[in-house]
Structure 1
Amino acid sequence: MSTFPPFKYSQLDSAKQEIRLINLLPSSNFDDPVRLIISHSPFFVQEKEPKSRHNLRELRKAFEHGRRGDGMVMHETIEGRILIGYWEKGWKGRWSTWETGCGPKATTEDFELQDGMGFEPKFEALSYTWGSNADRDTLFVLDEEQNDGYYAGQNPGPRWQLDVTQNLAIALKHLRYDDRTRRMWIDAICINQHNVTERNEQVRRMKNIYKVAHRVVAWLGPSSSGSGFALSTLEHIGRQVEYTTEDTTPPGPDATEYNWYQKHCLLPYGEEHWQSIYDLITRPWFDRIWVVQEIQLANSRAVVQCGTDQISWYLLRRGIRCLVNRARGVPKYLNDRLLLVSTMCEHMIGKSLPQLLMTNTSRKCVDPLDKIYGILGLAPTNAASSIVPDYASSTLEGYKTTFLNYTSLSRRLHLLDQCNPGPRVDDRPSWVPDWSRDSDEIDYLQLGVYPSGDSAAHWSYSEPNILEVTGVQFKKVIHVWQCELRSDNDFSGLVSEVGFEMLQNSQYPTGDSLLDAHAYVLYRGRLGHLYWQTGSGCWIPSARAKRTILHGSPNELQDFTRAHDLKWLLGRKLVQTEGGYIGLAPGHVQIGDIICVILGSNVPTVLRKNSDGTFKIVGHSYLHGVMNGEALLGPLPKPWAPKREFNPTNQLWEQRFFDTEKREAVDAKNDPRLEPVPDQWECLENDAPFLLQKWKNKETGEIINSDPRLLPQALIERGVKLQTFALS
């Protein structure tokens, strides 16, 4: 085909909130050049309030006193669909039926999938990876005015050409129809990538673009010898399970293999199946940052396409979640890959910004700023609005601005937990997270540990790079074990170095045995007796954890750490502090470093004093005996014990306190170590799902999002020795 002038973008009308859409013209010959028409379309999207639906707790309570009796179970899928099943008497492990729209408070809507917002004109949104900019191909663009001629049976020629990556051109050849046009939104074409102002503006609209698209198509690339085989295998596995808001995978309504949901069940697959699945999920699409929000925001029509083969996203994500962390059968190389891929299958919409950043920091992008901008569409509206995409800023300035804006909004230092600087390679302040690096850090909010309780951050920022924070210096590090965990195999080496068999009869400062303390630390508190929901895959059986530490062979230790996703241990060392406390800290921890609990932070922070009196963040730690607010409030009095309860609304484990004598629990507001809330404070109905309980001062009208009994002055009156740390 002849060459044509390069396509020139005309300016979008901001008053009409325009976006560009393309009409992909048909061709029955795969090798024909790609032709398309680019048009402008108004994009007014009115955020609709979600229909009022009964939540899972309400429905379960309503059914408890209904006609169903024992054997009934109820789940909510991550799409918000309520499913009800019954165990057949005398046959454990099979659903006898799934019911829809029954019960005193259930409606049909509680059981249906929601399929988008009905936006017009209908279009599909493409989720794909750009590929190498060095490999280019040419598309041919017709004038929008030629549209009528095309539909009248004429075959008008193109007027411009547009260079795109070869990966996109191949995708379009697969996606175009033989006999009709296909209307789509594709970022590389519909956004003028050379106009920074337009990029900044359009990035803010991508949430709604993928949300209102009639369908999202995720393009993995051309087919290979085993790709169709992998998709059909995952589709069958995905039909056997559901995926719930409680992070469980019970049998699905259409299951034919009723035991596959059990992690110890050996699936009837061999190396050919595993290798084909591995080859499929190592395609670049599964590694990119932008595709996470693109597929998460999609409705239930979303498909994943490889060559001409398709699978629904609904079934693919369930197939992956069913396979991850299986105790038997799935080879290690595949499970390691599944651990990364499975995070994008989780329900992320509405998770807090720290959770989203933590979960996706290892994903790839061209511009390091996309580690932030690429997940904003999933964050709560107030958090997303506080961060304005600015591709003209440097990576450091973009990261620092994100930290300061979110900290100011939330009054929490949750992003401080994502700092693990190690040796400095630039002038970056140690308190600014480097999201451009891969990280195995964990989200302590998801574990239900709250070393600073429900306290707010008390902080200030001074130009150019000083952050002052308030907290407590707990203890100094006095010993560091030298075995640094670098792989699954190193766990047995640590067990040997520490000599756990000598710890059974030794006492820890909290009154536990030293063996118990090490079990808490090595498994970051994920021990079964701390959790209400005994069916959760989050926790580890306490007795088995200790038994494996004491008596497990190297292979058993390796299998145990793999089955319970203990990769967070990698790169860490076991430490001991003054007073005999033990914990895990970053591998570059040193004797003399101090472990602090900073107000408004999720986790104890390791600090190192600089020669100028400021402090450098070494990283975070898990220290047994300080994870439930002991550094601020002291130990829990008998007969109280910490517990954790899963909240399916915010997908978090929340702190509870359990009276072991009366056998009853209270929430964090009723912490037995705290005096009653002063009369001038009233608890407001909470409109934020992420632990930010609001309180109002009836005398001044002041509203805060932290416990007034944990304000600095209140803590000082309790005798807590607060101090200010200047972080550089």
Structure 2
Amino acid sequence: MGQESSAPWPEISSTYRYTALPPISPSTPKTFRLLTIMPKSFDKYLRCKLHVHEIESAPPFEALSYVWGDSKPVMSIYLEEESKSISFNLGLALARLRLEDKERIVWIDALCINQDDLAERSQQVQLMVDIYTRCTRVVIWMGPGHMDDRVIPAAFRLMHKTAEYISEEVGKPIEKVCAVDIAQLPTETESSPIRATRDLPAPRTPPWGPAAFFFHLPWFRRMWIAQEVAFAPATVYIGKLEIDWDVVAMAASWWYHKGYGASFEMVMDLRNPMTIWMSAEIRGLSLDRFLDKFGHFEATDPRDKVYALLGFLYDDGNGDRAELENQPDVKVEKHRIIPDYTKEVWEVYSDAVHHIIHTESHGNLTQLFAMIRDIAADPDPVFPSWIPRWDLGHSVTGQSLNIWEPKYEWRASGDKRPEFRPSPDPKTLYMIGAQVTRIQEVFPLYEAEDEESDVQAMLLQSLWSRAQELLSPYPRPGSLEDAFVAAITGLRKRNVTLDSTPFNASDLAEIIDNTCDPEDSHFLIDGIKWYTSFFITDDGKMGVGSKRTQKDDVVCLLYGGRLPVVLRPTGDQWRFLEQCVVPGIMHGEAMVDVGEGRREEWFELR
């Protein structure tokens, strides 16, 4: 399963020098390099050649999708008559791809792009969709496999068997099944009678171990893979074995949907191939939706968190971007993101934010705002507060309370669409909105060291007592009890009836149990434990927001957001903290006051 002895490596060195490619322009053909892997019969050493081609007239070729791994060169190949140092994993991939007595033409990013030339990298990344659309097949190299030769075959058998069950349930041949077919199937539990008819292991049993190993391989976490397998047929190579990518993605999606797997960790690993497969069939999603779906994927260069998704935005579904680019009414053209690896990471992410806010057709920026977090110990303080930290993954860009879901239908800023104005400072974003109220007191909802089961009730009782001290008599319409429950549950409550006096923590726990949607209850508990704070404003409102919220922060409306946001004044500028939930202003109530004592203003976000 490891390195082939028939492909020995020359001494590690790198003397190959690239010849520059012609610049890409509307008046010149798109050119790129292709790698020819010479056959084993040609030389015992691994020898390759690079040739420049126009994309429109290139010979048939395959494209390699793989994990770069440690970028430190550990071996060399012969490129033309010179040596070229490469990574260990790429060396194994080339040895696996080399044929016995025939040349093989492939496109491999690490060799076909001069990675030391930032201008060339920037231009060639623009051609990625063209390349992966025009290749005859994508070869996915997942590595040499497992030390135990039985593991990968066992995983593949399980996937093939599952594909047959899927074909039978969907009523289509395996090659015709798509991600939407599986998403429309009924879910199951471990007690579902149909499970007894299938020859599949019970969930969380040892026979799932090989599949768990396979789906935990690093390839499934790469940012670029979504685009690499979306536009052409693909085959997975691992060691000497191979399997169709569609069978892999199909099995993963079905197992996730039906509740199979070795463990919770494996179920989480199944999300990535499922997301990739589904995204390959979807066109028309906005950049913020793609960033939300793929934010937890990994990229060696953090700029690729954005650049790796551009193929989905600027492709018309058939891989021919020329037609799209010639349509004058296509909104993305004016704010098209052009890859540029000379830019700093924050500049690339700024380009993404500006693309989102200017191309959002419905004027809804809630998804974007949900990905912005104020970070306590930001490893890169050069980032403006209004730019999401996509480089840090979902640990800082996923909002704990799922309160921006469309089913909640918040419209805190009414029907106001977002408005922006240019800024001479690229780190400043001007947005129009209105101040609503200032935060008077903030209470943490959970301390990480408190793990006892009754801690939540104790904290809620403490919050309730403090709310009574500050807000009795309650200065707003309705009862203090109803307002408190609405705030603490993120407004997920339904009709609340309080029968006991005085209102206490046990009453609150019962109300939460009886009024939250069942699928929302875990969001509430997670939010109370780890992510949110409870606050009271100077005009008697209550709300939940970020743990970073402080006294004297301001609840504001930024037009285009369905939820209010917490901003922190810093002189004449504002720091964006996070979205929040404040009962009493979630349906545009505060907008009634705009023009009647409350004024619109431009917020200078920094």
The question of a shared fold, defined as TM-score above 0.5 by the shorter chain, is answered with yes
> Which of 157, 173, 184 is the equivalent residue of 1:232?
157
How far residue 423 of structure 1 moved from its aligned partner, in angstroms, is 2.8
**Residues 130-529 of structure 1 mapped to structure 2, 5 A cutoff:** 130-142=68-80, 159-224=81-146, 225=148, 226-241=151-166, 244-245=179-180, 248-250=183-185, 259=194, 268-295=202-229, 297-299=230-232, 301-324=233-256, 331-339=263-271, 342-347=274-279, 349-380=283-314, 382-383=331-332, 386-410=336-360, 413=365, 415-423=368-376, 425=378, 426-440=381-395, 441-442=398-399, 447-448=406-407, 449-451=409-411, 452-464=413-425, 465-484=427-446, 493-494=455-456, 497-498=459-460, 517=486, 521=490
> Which of 532, 535, 549 is the equivalent residue of 1:589?
549
Question: Which amino acid is the alignment partner of residue 462 of structure 1?
Answer: S
Q: Is the 8 A contact 1:317 1:345 kept in 2?
A: yes
Change (3 A) 1:493 1:335: farther
Q: Which residue of 2 aligns with 1:37?
A: 49
Matched, 1:17 2:30: yes
- TM-score, structure 2 normalization: 0.72
> Which of 619, 628, 631 is the equivalent residue of 2:578?
619
Question: Which amino acid is the alignment partner of residue 9 of structure 1?
Answer: Y
Q: Is the 8 A contact 1:18 1:43 kept in 2?
A: yes
Which consecutive residues of structure 2, in runs of 5 or more, have no partner in the other structure? 1-8, 171-177, 316-330, 466-473, 496-508
Change (3 A) 1:6 1:444: farther
How far residue 186 of structure 1 moved from its aligned partner, in angstroms, is 0.8
CA distance in 2, matches of 1:406, 1:279: 37
Matched, 1:575 2:534: yes
CA distance in 2, matches of 1:518, 1:477: 14
Structure 1 runs (4+) deviating above 6 angstroms are 1-5, 325-329, 485-492, 507-512, 559-562, 564-570
Question: Which amino acid is the alignment partner of residue 51 of structure 2?
Answer: S
More helix by share: 2
How far residue 181 of structure 1 moved from its aligned partner, in angstroms, is 2.6
Change (3 A) 1:135 1:248: same
What is the SS of the residue equivalent to 2:278? coil
Q: Which residue of 2 aligns with 1:147?
A: none
Which digits, 9 at most, give the CA deviation of each residue in 1:489-517, with x for residues without a partner? Answer: 799743553259x99xxx99789956973
Residues paired across the two proteins, number: 519
Change (3 A) 1:340 1:516: farther
- TM-score, structure 1 normalization: 0.61
CA distance in 1, matches of 2:605, 2:83: 53
Q: Is the 8 A contact 1:138 1:162 kept in 2?
A: yes
Identity of aligned residues (%): 23
CA distance in 2, matches of 1:492, 1:339: 33
CA distance in 2, matches of 1:345, 1:625: 41
Which digits, 9 at most, give the CA deviation of each residue in 1:60-111, with x for residues without a partner? Answer: xxxxxxxxxxxxxxxxxxxxxxxxxxxxxxxxxxxxxxxxxxxxxxxxxxxx
What is the SS of the residue equivalent to 2:301? coil
Change (3 A) 1:140 1:569: farther
Q: Is the 8 A contact 2:574 2:603 kept in 1?
A: yes
Which digits, 9 at most, give the CA deviation of each residue in 1:355-381, with x for residues without a partner? Answer: 122232332222221111121112256
What is the SS of the residue equivalent to 1:293? helix
Q: Which residue of 2 aligns with 1:699?
A: none
CA distance in 2, matches of 1:600, 1:20: 44
Change (3 A) 1:248 1:606: same
Matched, 1:606 2:566: yes
Q: Is the 8 A contact 2:484 2:542 kept in 1?
A: no
Which consecutive residues of structure 1, in runs of 5 or more, have no partner in the other structure? 45-118, 143-158, 530-545, 635-714
Change (3 A) 1:408 1:514: closer
Q: Which residue of 1 aligns with 2:319?
A: none
How far residue 327 of structure 1 moved from its aligned partner, in angstroms, is 6.4
What is the SS of the residue equivalent to 2:83? strand
Q: Which residue of 1 aligns with 2:322?
A: none
Q: Which residue of 2 aligns with 1:722?
A: 600
CA distance in 2, matches of 1:402, 1:187: 24
Q: Which residue of 2 aligns with 1:550?
A: 513
CA distance in 1, matches of 2:235, 2:525: 32
Superposition CA RMSD, Å: 4.4
Question: Which amino acid is the alignment partner of residue 604 of structure 2?
Answer: A
CA distance in 1, matches of 2:447, 2:231: 39
CA distance in 1, matches of 2:511, 2:77: 60
Q: Which residue of 2 aligns with 1:76?
A: none
**Residues 689-708 of structure 1 mapped to structure 2, 5 A cutoff:** none
Change (3 A) 1:549 1:221: farther
Q: Which residue of 2 aligns with 1:6?
A: 15
CA distance in 1, matches of 2:240, 2:494: 46
Change (3 A) 1:593 1:515: closer
How far residue 302 of structure 1 moved from its aligned partner, in angstroms, is 1.7
Q: Is the 8 A contact 1:520 1:624 kept in 2?
A: no
How far residue 170 of structure 1 moved from its aligned partner, in angstroms, is 0.4
Change (3 A) 1:19 1:602: farther
How far residue 126 of structure 1 moved from its aligned partner, in angstroms, is 1.1
